[in-house]
Structure 1
Amino acid sequence: MGFEFRHRIAFKQARTVLLISLVLGLLSTSIQIFLDLRQEKISYLAGIERVIALYKKTAERAIYNLNYVKASEITATLISHPEISEATLVDDFGDPLSHDKQEISSPNTFFYKLGNYFFQFNTHYESILKIDNSQTGAAKLIIELDSTYITHNFALRAFIGLVFGLLYNVLLACVFLFFFYRYLSRPILDIVKWVDQLNTHNNLPLPYKGRDEIGDLVASFSKLWDERRQVTDRLNNTISKLSKSKNFSRTLMENAGDAMFLCAPDGTIIDLNHQAVETLKSDKEHILGSKLSVYSQNYSENDLVDLFLSIDEKHVCTFEDIQIDMHKKVFPIEARGIRIKQNDKDYILISARDISARKESEKQIFELAFFDTLTGLANRRLFTDRLSSVITHHQVHDIHGAVLYMDLDRFKTINDSLGHSIGDKLLCAVSQRLTAIAPVGTTCARFGGDEFVILLPEIGPTVVSSAEVAVHISKKIIDAIAAPFEIEGHTLYCTISIGIAVFPEKELSAIDILRHADIALYRTKAMGKNGFQFYDPEVQSSAQERLLIEKGLHKALDKGEFQLWFQPQVKSDGSVFGAEVLLRWMHPEKGVISPDDFIQIAEESGQIIEMGQWVLNESFNQLAQWRERGFPEGCRRLAINISPLQFMQVDFVGRVLKLLTDYQIPGELIELEITENMLLNNFDIASNKMRILKQRGISFAIDDFGTGYSSLKYLRYMPLDILKIDRSFVTNLRPSSEEAAIVEVIIATADRLGLAVVAEGVETVEERDTLIELGCHRFQGYLYSKPLPAAQFYELISETRLSV
């Protein structure tokens, strides 16, 4: 019990406070004694000087007159002072005139020894006396001090001061200890006793109810204890119920949809379920006892042992592998492993799922993101990325390359006269000739329509040498395309125009290089086509046009030149379910300007933020007016395009929520259309903003799906509602076309993720019927209506159906 008491906080606290008090008291008293010692020496010296000064004149007259009686009175008076033990008056001849001495005992006491040790001073004083007309020498007054008296008294006073100082500090420490014990130690002891009794008694009263930190601690602990007891009771009940079923674990494994393996830490398969047997195409007896690594392509036996060592009981470890069944067929899996204990032994429980379909979908979407679906060439995104990388490399190593921007001269005529099928095959034949001519290491891309681009990296150390190589390749391309094409019995002739931009130049970006090549291409066409031209900075009519548009945008909002047009979104039965808001620029000189001609410029110049806010305000205002007039019941959603730059503004969410409140519009009537690239570049920020707006009922659509970096990641984790198929997949869509296969994959992906699908750019009945056959039942396009001003649109949707 004594051992336990020494470890209690109260004992440690009392011991610490007492020690600190004693040390501090001793230190402070010692300092005071030291200061008193110095002052005492000064005081005694000053006192002796005063006594000598008091009798000095009298002593000088007594010596001058040789008055022995007066001299004796002076020495007798001096030794009457208790601190003076002996006084002698010596005349100017050196003879003692008077001498007196008091009897002094030298007590060998403690205080005398202590004082004599610390209080050391001079006990012999001589004072020179001036005798008038003396020719012999100097008279003196000699005093001897009583060191016994002085040191004894000083040591006694110092000792008494030290004792009282220590007693004062001890008393103060006891007072502190009383209050510490009263308000801290005793409540803690009561709490300890209360905690010890909690395991055996229920509903004990709280040991401390003060409204302070200890009271808060007791209340919090009591609450946590009650919660723990409730959880423990529920867990015990659950365990009791589970223990009644001996086959629970086996039933759980056998009914799992994934293949499950129970393995020893060395990878030996101890048990597995029926799905695992089916996956490995073998019998259970043959699999049991074998190593899991036998059925893995990526992990050896040692790799699996290392992996299993890293798995603990609290966290699930997820990894991908290529599994091999007994017939040597391989397929990708996603495995999840966790460590479990049975009968004090460690095991690893692995669940494996075949992800072949997911991998195939990701592959297809990857190809959609980076490659042209018709020709198999790189698309704009992939080409731009490679060009950016090459430019950075060239700027560091001072190497030059070139971009050839090409356009078929007679393609539109062939496509319109012979049909899209012949046109598509011609484009494929052109891409084959281009790849055959392009040197190794180059990148050929199709940007859409009949536009092709070739990246020629590292073709020369100087601009001149690079230009010569670009000319040589361009001539070969022109000659190759000029040769006739035999396609489905048709002999086709076409030529090609080429614009050339050599890089790097003044640290230009990939977009700048492409724009230069495009400018050179249009110059080629203006000069008669079927040739090539290099970029000339002084010939930039299109660049000047862009500058005019950019300047015009600054004034368009102030002058009220923007209008909102609306295009209906229609179901397969012809009923209108929503509309997309489209921006039109009513230029005073050029008439109606399509967004395709100015949106990109607005994005690059930053004006899209102000324009986007105007579109939001006008859209909400128009919707509020229609609701007041009586909005058709079936038309339940207004889709508004949001630019990435506008969406990533800090106050975007607050602006939208304010508009909902100001115009009293339910969020369910608003759909915001965003792009794929915005999600990929700002995944976390975009996700948080979308979830906030979703709470108000606003829905989200992915616009132009398939034209950017399509990724299943954001489709799965983003709060999306609608997926819009880009018009490039819809144009000339037929059941047997390659686009149909892509559209089918997109629709299937959306169905699995619970997303609605809307097809854009539907212009023909054949396209619509093919989409219906593939599973898409919502459309938008010229087949039903072109974009219309607000008044005409409202009149249109007032009809119950849109006929085709």
Structure 2
Amino acid sequence: MGVVLSRSLFIKQAILTLALAIVLSLLSSGIQFFEGIRHQKTQIDQNFDELLAVVEKPLAEAMFRLDVDFAQQQINSLLLTPSIAHVEVRDELGELFVGATAKERNFSISHSLADYFLSDLQVYDRRLRLEKPVFQAGHLIVLPEKRYLLDEMFQEHLSTLIYNLFKDVLLASLISLFFYFLVTHPLMRLTESLSALEHNQTLPLSKAFYRHHKSDELGHLHATFARLWSKLSMALSDLERSNSHTKAMIEHAADGILLLDESNNITLVNTAAEYMLKRKSADLHSQSLESLHTSASWAPFVEILTSLQVNTPLTIETVYQIQHVELPVEIRLAKYKIQNQVETLLLIRDVSERKETEAHIHHLAYYDPITNLPNRQYLADKLHEALQRQQQGVNYSAVVFMDLDRFKTINDSLGHNVGDQLLCCVAAQLSFLKEDNIVFARMGGDEFAFLLNKMGDDKEQVEKAINGFADSVMYACQQVKKAGHHEVHITASLGATIFDGNEGSAEVILKQADTALYRAKESGRNTFALYKPEMQAISDARLDMEKALHHATEFKLFDLYYQPQTNDKNELIGAEALIRWKDEKKGFISPAEFIPVAEEIGLIVEIGHWVLNEALSQVATWLKEGKWQLAWRMSINVSPIQFQQAGFLPMLKAQLEKHDVPASCVDLEITENMLLNDLASCLDKMNAIKALGVHLSIDDFGTGYSSLKYLKSLPIDRLKIDQSFVRDLLTDKSDEAIVHAVIAMAKALNISVLAEGVETLPHYDRLREIDCFFYQGYYFGHPLPPREFITAFVQDLPEPPLS
């Protein structure tokens, strides 16, 4: 069949049609043959019945007479019929009476074939019986000659078989010829036309073809082919354009493109890849991709490349070796299958600039731009890593916080540039402490930190080592530092905490170190404190204070109380506005507690602004009500931080104008420590304030460091002797001498003196004796709210004259 199906369509059809006709003809003849056998069997039975009926009575009479010769004649006559093979006559007892067998004859049909086709042909057994007299003679048994009968049947049907076979073969030949002219020949012409067809041509068939086959299947086939060819032509055009487009895209792509075969050999290289890899396409073609990699990058890359699944793109980074220079690249890998061939596409991008940018961003994110030290985030990450490692075993580490003492003073007085140089100098001087297990970082501002990893498993020894480390840091900080043109002396306060990984988080440890640092600064600075659990309560209290202070500042929950100031005649000369804060939970909180906190967290300017506004508003109200004399002064404390603000003087002018209060009614109190920062700037601002008509006093005089040196040049109106000297005036000769000196110096400079903290009559008498004539203290009156102050200390004044 394989040979037949490999020939032309006409030969295939002709052979198959002929074979089918022969098979069908034989099948039809076989059916007719078997049907004829069935019909002839019935005929044979009828013939035998008729034949036996002729000899039945004579044989019965011969047996009655026991005439063997006559009986033998009868059965011999039967054997003359070729369809009988053997005859027997038996009596009632089954004994053979007579019998005969036909002579052996040659037939073309074997016994087995005859038995197969005539297996159901019976042995004829007829009972012999006489009617008169009634006599049961026996049986006549006749065996038919099956070979003869079957041969007769074959002879009879052979001619029919030959006729049918000839007729069917002739019909098949005619059908094949008709099929050839009707289908095969036009189809051959159509096929030849299609074979000769080229791109963008139409099907070149004769008009006769269209005329004869316009409406039949070949016409439809031609029309279908025409449509398909048109679509195919368009598809080919699109494919050519797409192919050209793809080549152009590959050639002009900004990224390098490599195509690999199944053996990871390069089969395609675009222009960008040539430029990036500095090698021509011809040099790279059929080369292994390994030739582009560094020795270290190939093994992990090929492992990823081998395990990459088809249609599962992946982006990775690796390193190429380009003319002895390592080039970091980002590769988009895509493995796909085309016509049972697996290919891998590599989109390659040079990321060296990005890596440099990332490194720069990383440096910006994790390093301080001024000192080039690691920053807070870097230290926090390293601390987190240390905590992860220490969970695997007991080993103590530590975090040390360092804060430069009086750095803000230096920064504000000498300028931020000098301050930055000082920070760099400190970082450089402490660089000798850098070791593999030490991270030195700048946390921000003037705060630095050290992370000391794996210092040992003996806590006492670790504490000793931390103390020694802190001494080294403080000693280094005490050395003279060159910042710009200035030689700067500075000290540092340090706080540390030791941890073993059970503290929970890096935030907890950093908070503990910060708490210890705060304790060191509270202890007088230039010292070191190691975190103890009891410190946390103090730190938490401070944090609560900060939160509450923010809340109080935002919602203006403060009050101003007023304490009278009098002269030696017990006459009121003014009052000092004193801020009071009553917290909902803690009650009244002393200004000595919350004012330093406000200065540290940057709220003092806002609070000072509120105090000035509130005090001037109250003075304005009292002036309108006739309860305040123009000669009286309202003393208002000004924080050094607020005073140093560039906008302080404009703000003061705006407040005076807003409330329409005479400048002479205002006395601003500043501390002498403020003068240490920048005397020249302070002097300019003080002169400007004096020019407005506002009075200036130095508060807490005698507790500072250098004001005596510059006192003669300051435009001040009054010195306020600190209450610490007044309190022990009667019992401590030193304090008495200081008070005498201050009064004498002020008198020489024509500056008035007011003593604070006058609480008893003996104090009052002694101050009068040494020529101090202005006082403030509990002896004269406690600070009171506005209404109570007026009730207690202000007598009814005459109504102000009408303007």
- Where relative contact order (Cα < 8 A, 6+ residues apart) is larger, the structure is 1
TM-score, normalising length: structure 2: 0.38
TM-score, normalising length: structure 1: 0.38
